Structure 1
Amino acid sequence: MNRLDVRDLRTYFFLDEGIVKAVDGVSLHVGDQETVGVIGESGCGKTAMAHSLLRLTTQPGEVVHGNAMLTRKDGSRVDILALPPDSPDLLSIRGNEISMVFQEPMTSFSPVHTIGFQIGEMLATHTDLAPARIRERVVELMARVGISNPRQRFDEYPHQLSGGMRQRAMIAMALAAKPKIIIADEPTTALDVTVQAQILDLLKQLQREDDMSALYITHNLGIVAEEVDRVYVMYLGRVVETVSTDRLFARPLHPYTQKLLRSVPQPGRRVERLDVIEGSVPVPIGLPVQCGFYARCPAAMKGTCDTALPALTEVEPGHQVRCFLYGQETEPNDEWTAL
């Protein structure tokens, strides 16, 4: 049984200019002790999808459709998206069943509360530990994630820590209640290469020790190659390809994935100019019903790709692609297509 099953998730932002379909029919699953990656250019909907799963989307954004079935620690199943926003069940899921390492800890932490207090809030919410024991437990967590002088750091503010230390503190907070799924949203952004490696090794070690599944959201293909078991490639709010990591790098099928991989420098391979994806991601407002990559695709077929939306089709076992090069199946028209 999967720890998380997401089906047809749609998160739209209702603006004066029109409806932005940030997440437009995404389905994915995370298995037991599995590490799953979600990749794509900035603005493709990766972070909006993650925020939707924890019900962190705020107005003018709204989850308009879909379900996200979570297997809880006690074995019961619950649809996160069906819970009322202020329900105790939802509060018990955030941080306790699913935790998130946010993209930039400097802006994610409160600047007016100490690091120790903020990590301790997670324990105060999800456990019945006494205040004195919470402090000791936070110090233990900080030491576990490699924060030096944890007793001193407990009383320091976010601006007093380096970027790497803030990221470690964010990980300590995410792991405080021993969740079964951790969502890491660009966990190494703005960190130097050495610290990036340390953070990734730490996450992998903690995931193994605590029997966690992980969902990595990133545009760093190096992280995907080293850390991830399966990959979902997103473009313009939709999954365009999904397969195991090894097969994705060995045999990418979607033209977008192929261009994405060719744009990455390869050690030992000297080229005058890296491959680029021509054009830019269209503004996702009032788009025609067609392949989202049509205007930038070198293999686009006029009269086919510009007249219908291809369905996500399994072209070989475990390998799904949303492209008319691999079949003529289209997405059915429904109420969401008309918006």
Structure 2
Amino acid sequence: MEANAQSETKQNRLEIQNIRTYFFLDEGILKAVDGVSMTIGDRETIGVIGESGSGKTQFARSLMRLVTKPGEIVDGTAILRRKDGSVIDILALEPDDQELRSIRGNDIAMIFQEPMTAFSPVHTIGAQISEMVALHTKLTKLQIREHVVELLRKVGISNPSQRFDEYPHQLSGGMRQRAMIAMALSCNPKIVLADEPTTALDVTIQAQILDLLRELQQSQDMAVIYITHNLAVVAETVDRVYVMYLGKVVESAPTKRLFANPLMPYTRQLLRSIPRPGVQVDRLEVIKGTVPTPIDPPWHCPFFSRCPDAMPGKCDQAMPALVEYEPGHFARCYLHSDATEAEDEWTRI
């Protein structure tokens, strides 16, 4: 079981196994998420990192069952332990299942990457958050308004009673992001998926948003999954990191261990691209090339075409397995192992 031994089953809030989300296009099969597994414990903070196009957002959308045609979740399980103690496989539910509607927002919620497009432009902020609360609670309209106004105040929005009746375009970027957080937390979910929660915000507002999420995580006893390419956020915020590339997890480890000893060349190059305090350079290091489009990808190391340490005749012959090299530290690389991932039915799709 890949990278899943860090906590006992009874402590896990969510157990994800082998999620595969494919888009069936005229050009071929785009494998956006290709066999991702991980576990999320109570109150744990997870980071999922990688370049744009690595599959991070589609992974989050898969968990929320928001993948649209021509996309399809073709394999995998996501076993969720709900607030009431019951256990359910989110991926086994039909997209229009009433049970799935009761899970979204209540047990697991998502902070979307761009609140300006996530919010409806023709409804007020308060009305949209109230709709979520009304769906999952039995509060009266007056109680819902009071609850939402208090949420807006809690996330740091000034004059919350006034903002309740305003439209998304009337709020600044930072306020919209705070309102999106308020919506995600409106029903006290136990897991929050934060997809680039600080994108397009200035550094000061970024810090405020991250501090806010940490405070709310502690007060509301929830787990958070950060989907991000901001490694500074990862270093300061998360307990464990999963590095994704071309739809696969290529390395995972506790945060301090990953930053101290990255095993996968892709992870090393990601970390080298971070500016370092007190170190002056003429130019930051970059990873050569771009992330390939994962349409019918070859069955070998996904980073082979861009890797400075690639070994032709080996790395391009078979897919390396995700191997545990030290307790809790997994990597998918032939530099550290000769093990190969056995071919199965998915390699022939």
Question: TM-score if structure 2 supplies the norm length?
Answer: 0.96
- Which of 157, 167, 183 aligns to 2:193? It is 183
1:51 is matched with 61
- Which of 298, 307, 313 aligns to 2:317? It is 307
Shift of 1:74: 1.3
Shift of 1:273: 2.1
SS for the counterpart of 1:337 is helix
2:6 is matched with none
CA deviation map 1:275-311 (0-9, x unaligned): 1111111121122111010011111111110010001
Preserved contact between residue 54 and residue 244 of structure 2 (Cα < 8 Å): yes
Equivalences for 1:229-268 in 2 at 5 Å?
Answer: 229-268=239-278
Equivalences for 1:325-336 in 2 at 5 Å?
Answer: 325-336=335-346
Shift of 1:208: 0.4
Distance 2:50 2:252 in 1: 12
CA deviation map 1:138-196 (0-9, x unaligned): 11111111111011111100000000000110011101110000110000011000000
1:171 is matched with 181
Distance 1:106 1:121 in 2: 18
Runs (4 or more) in structure 1 with deviation over 2 Å come to: none
Equivalences for 1:92-241 in 2 at 5 Å?
Answer: 92-241=102-251
Code of the residue aligned with 2:200 in structure 1: it is A
Shift of 1:272: 2.1
Distance 1:8 1:294 in 2: 22
Code of the residue aligned with 2:233 in structure 1: it is I
Q: Does 1:279 align with 2:307?
A: no
Gaps of 5+ in 1: none
Question: TM-score if structure 1 supplies the norm length?
Answer: 0.99
SS for the counterpart of 2:162 is helix
Identity rate of aligned residues, in percent?
68
Code of the residue aligned with 1:197 in structure 2: it is A
Shift of 1:14: 0.6
SS for the counterpart of 1:21 is strand
1:7 is matched with 17
SS for the counterpart of 1:200 is helix
2:4 is matched with none
1:27 is matched with 37
2:3 is matched with none
2:8 is matched with none
SS for the counterpart of 1:248 is helix
1:298 is matched with 308
Distance 1:283 1:92 in 2: 35
CA deviation map 1:96-152 (0-9, x unaligned): 000100000001000000000001011110001111111111111111111110111
SS for the counterpart of 1:278 is coil
Q: Does 1:269 align with 2:260?
A: no
Distance 2:185 2:296 in 1: 41
Code of the residue aligned with 2:254 in structure 1: it is S
Q: How many residues align?
A: 339
1:82 is matched with 92
Q: Does 1:91 align with 2:101?
A: yes
Shift of 1:6: 0.4
Distance 1:9 1:140 in 2: 37
Preserved contact between residue 31 and residue 296 of structure 2 (Cα < 8 Å): no
Gaps of 5+ in 2: 1-10
CA RMSD of aligned residues (A): 0.7
SS for the counterpart of 2:145 is helix
Shift of 1:218: 0.2
Distance 1:329 1:91 in 2: 42
Q: Does 1:72 align with 2:72?
A: no
